[in-house]
């Protein structure tokens, strides 16, 4: 089951988020404060970001974070899948596909023109899932300049 994140999910979110950022799916860990700030932003408003809990066996087993942007290239609003994490013991049970079905309904109902995501080159399982679901690589790279360093 996928549902919007709620205040009662703080401890589960912080735990899952810390596990995600210590996994091979990300380039580098982030300070604990960034996890806490993300949760606070999700509780403040859903204008720019959204958070979702993924549940199985009656408990949170994963989460997803999305950012909401506008792109002329896409022809409108873009739902950017920032993070998707499912505990290793719950992978290959269809929860990823369930989340993507939820995300696509959410995006269509919200009037989004595109869903965009990033994936590490060596994350073969995730890439295979995304390709099976119809996602295709972009033909250009990204650049970043980090301004916040705390």
pLDDT in tens, 9-39: 999 999 999 999 998 888 888 999 999 999 9
* The pLDDT of residue 54: 98
Q: What is the pLDDT of residues 131-144, one digit of tens each?
A: 999 999 988 888 88
> Is the pLDDT confidence value at 149 over 80?
no
* The pLDDT of residue 42: 97
Q: What is the pLDDT of residues 105-131, one digit of tens each?
A: 999 999 999 999 988 888 888 899 999
- Residue 139 in any domain: the answer is no
Range of the domain at 49: 2-132
Tokens for 31?
């300070």
**Domain CATH number, residue 101:** 3.40.630.30
* The pLDDT of residue 148: 75
* The pLDDT of residue 119: 87
* The pLDDT of residue 80: 96
Q: What is the pLDDT of residues 80-109, one digit of tens each?
A: 999 999 999 999 999 999 999 999 999 999
Nearest to 117 by CA among 90, 78, 71: 78
Q: How many domains does the chain have?
A: 1
Tokens for 46?
């859903």
Backbone φ and ψ of 138, nearest 5°: -80, 155
- Residue 110 in any domain: the answer is yes
- Residue 138 in any domain: the answer is no
Tokens for 82?
């920032």
Q: How far apart are CA 70 and CA 106, in angstroms?
A: 16
- Residue 147 in any domain: the answer is no
- Residue 66 in any domain: the answer is yes
Q: How far apart are the first and last CA of the chain?
A: 35
- Residue 149 in any domain: the answer is no
- Residue 42 in any domain: the answer is yes
- Residue 81 in any domain: the answer is yes
């Amino acid at each position: 089951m996928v549902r919007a994140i709620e205040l009662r999910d703080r401890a589960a979110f912080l735990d899952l988020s810390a596990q995600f950022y210590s996994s091979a799916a990300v380039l580098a860990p982030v300070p604990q404060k960034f996890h806490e700030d993300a949760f606070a932003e999700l509780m403040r408003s859903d204008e720019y970001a959204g958070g979702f809990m993924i549940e199985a066996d009656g408990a949170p087993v994963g989460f997803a974070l999305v950012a909401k942007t506008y792109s002329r290239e896409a022809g409108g609003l873009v739902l950017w899948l920032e993070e998707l994490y499912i505990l290793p013991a719950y992978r290959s049970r269809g929860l990823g596909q369930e989340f993507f079905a939820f995300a696509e309904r959410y995006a269509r109902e919200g009037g989004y023109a595109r869903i965009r995501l990033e994936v590490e080159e060596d994350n073969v399982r995730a890439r295979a899932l995304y390709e099976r679901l119809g996602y295709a690589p972009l033909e250009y790279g990204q650049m970043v300049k980090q301004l916040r360093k705390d």
